[in-house]
Amino acid sequence: MINLEITTATGVKTVSIPSGWHEVSYQYYMDRIRPFIGDDLDPIESNIKLVNSLLETQATEANVMEFGKVIEILLDWMEEAPKVDEFQINDETFKIPVLGKANGEPFMSVGDFENCNDAMKFLQDSDLDDQDTANIGLIVLSAIARGNKELDDHEFSRRLKLFKDISMDVILSACFFFLQYILTFEKDTQHSLIKQIKTKVSNLLPDTTLDGLRLLSAAHNQVYLRSLHLKAQS
């Protein structure tokens, strides 16, 4: 984590900002980042709220001139495409399938391919609904990760609980692979649930978030001046 000393309307305080996806837990992401991203949100307004959320400040206390260094940190790692293929939790080891290249050609092991087919079938046969798929990152990871136990309803439920504090570099690695797998093998994209999952995975971190941060970075001086003008008029 990166510690920053920031000035607010009530004084100076120290805050911690993640330095990469490996320092963002899934719960932190869902609580502090996810509510402020989406195609239906104004990019600058939503990212002002995002920065406030990360700084743990209210809009009435925040100093917009502090936003520049926060935005610089976020843009430095939010565009990362994590590539985690193995992780451990509670002394258990799990592997995420890999779709890569060997000798310049697409490569995927038979074991990973079979595992993904099984995961797809499991998802198609599940009774997940809209409320369940709100936690789409956990669902994808729980379905495709390979562990010592066979994936069934009981193991899937256990993983959903076990992985709830996993870091986002692991979640995103699983989600990026999921999208690659569907695109490469054109797997079951017409199945209603798989199609729904694909859309939600694609929106896990929309480009509008990064675009909004870039716009906010370019405009934050003007935003500051405008806030002073509005304050002088009040």
In this predicted structure, what is the pLDDT of residue 125?
79
Task: Based on the fold, state whether residues 166 and 186 are members of the same structural domain.
Answer: yes
Task: Based on the fold, state whether residues 69 and 115 are members of the same structural domain.
Answer: no
- The H or E element spanning position 174 is helix 168-185
Task: Based on the fold, state whether residues 41 and 103 are members of the same structural domain.
Answer: no
**The two three-digit tokens of residue 91, written as one number:** 């002394």
Task: Based on the fold, state whether residues 70 and 131 are members of the same structural domain.
Answer: no
Task: Based on the fold, state whether residues 161 and 134 are members of the same structural domain.
Answer: yes
Report whether pLDDT(231) > 50: no
Task: Based on the fold, state whether residues 17 and 71 are members of the same structural domain.
Answer: yes
pLDDT band with cut points at 50, 70 and 90 for residue 226: very low
CA distances, 81 to each of 49, 60, 161, 170 (Å): 24, 35, 25, 11
Ramachandran sector of residue 104 (left: φ over 0; alpha: ψ -120 to 50; beta: rest): left
Q: Per the structure, how many domains does the chain have?
A: 2
**How far from the centroid of its chain's Cα atoms is residue 66's Cα?**
24
Task: Based on the fold, state whether residues 159 and 184 are members of the same structural domain.
Answer: yes
In this predicted structure, what is the pLDDT of residue 149?
92
Tell me the C-alpha distance between 49 and 84, whole Å: 30
- pLDDT digit string (tens) for 7-26? 888 888 888 999 999 999 98
Cβ neighbours of 138 (radius 10 Å): 22
Task: Based on the fold, state whether residues 127 and 21 are members of the same structural domain.
Answer: no
In this predicted structure, what is the pLDDT of residue 23?
94
Task: Scan for tokens 């509510």, then name that residue.
Answer: 35
Q: Which of 73-77, 144-148, 156-160 has the lowest mean pLDDT?
A: 73-77
- The DSSP bridge partners found for residue 5 are 14
Mean predicted confidence (pLDDT) in 23-37: 86
Look at residues 29, 15, 6, 5 and name the one whose alpha carbon lies nearest to residue 135: 29
Cβ neighbours of 59 (radius 10 Å): 10
Task: Based on the fold, state whether residues 191 and 221 are members of the same structural domain.
Answer: no
Task: Based on the fold, state whether residues 69 and 157 are members of the same structural domain.
Answer: no
Report whether pLDDT(220) > 70: no
Please give the residue range of the domain that contains residue 64: 2-78+205-233
Residue scoring higher pLDDT (119 or 188): 119
**How far from the centroid of its chain's Cα atoms is residue 95's Cα?**
19
**The two three-digit tokens of residue 59, written as one number:** 């809009």
The burial class, CB within 10 Å (0-12 / 13-18 / 19+), for 120 is buried
Instruction: Tell me the whole-structure pTM to 2 decimals.
Output: 0.79
Task: Based on the fold, state whether residues 111 and 12 are members of the same structural domain.
Answer: no
Task: Based on the fold, state whether residues 198 and 212 are members of the same structural domain.
Answer: no
